[in-house]
Amino acid sequence: MKKYIYLSLGLALALTVETKAQTYEAKVSKDSVGVLTARLEALKASQKIQELKIDEAKEEAEVEKLRLKLLNANDKAKESAAKNSKHTDRLSGGAVVDIKETAKLAKKAKSDMQESQKALDRFNKQIKAVEKLRVEIQAEERKASYKKPTIVFDYK
């Protein structure tokens, strides 16, 4: 009889050990999960802001390139206009000038002026793109300021 009592106690002990091994105890509370999720969202927002700032820097580099092209185009247009003006002054002074040369200079001045205008348009378009990115960055920074978790927690 003692044998059966010990055997049944041993069996009961074995079953409780087995059930203890299968129970799960959470090490993170539900509040901590919410805080972790909020931190993750804040990190994602921060990452998006940084990516937008990188894009802004690339666009600003493009603006600088276009500014240099605009300056060169303006210089060419001024130079062509000055040559055309000088040539026109010679015509009004009574000097004999080739008509083909006059037409050529006028055409060059016109094309240089058009190139200068195109460069200015591209420059302004690029500046608008940079400004749009800056507005988007500001909006994302405002959104991110609301997502920062304020609860401090520790793992158990």
Express each pLDDT in 83-138 by its tens digit.
Answer: 888 877 777 766 666 778 888 888 888 899 999 999 999 999 999 999 999 999 99
Cβ 77 vs Cβ 116: under 8 Å: yes
* Whole-angstrom distance, CA of residue 41 vs CA of residue 80: 58
For the chain, which residues make up each domain, given as ranges? 32-147
Residue-wise DSSP of 82-147:
HHHHHHHHHHHTT----HHHHHHHHHHHHHHHHHHHHHHHHHHHHHHHHHHHHHHHHHHHHHHHHH
Query: Residue 39 has what pLDDT?
Result: 81
Please state the pTM of the whole predicted model.
0.65
* Whole-angstrom distance, CA of residue 155 vs CA of residue 32: 8
Share of the chain above pLDDT 90, in %: 39
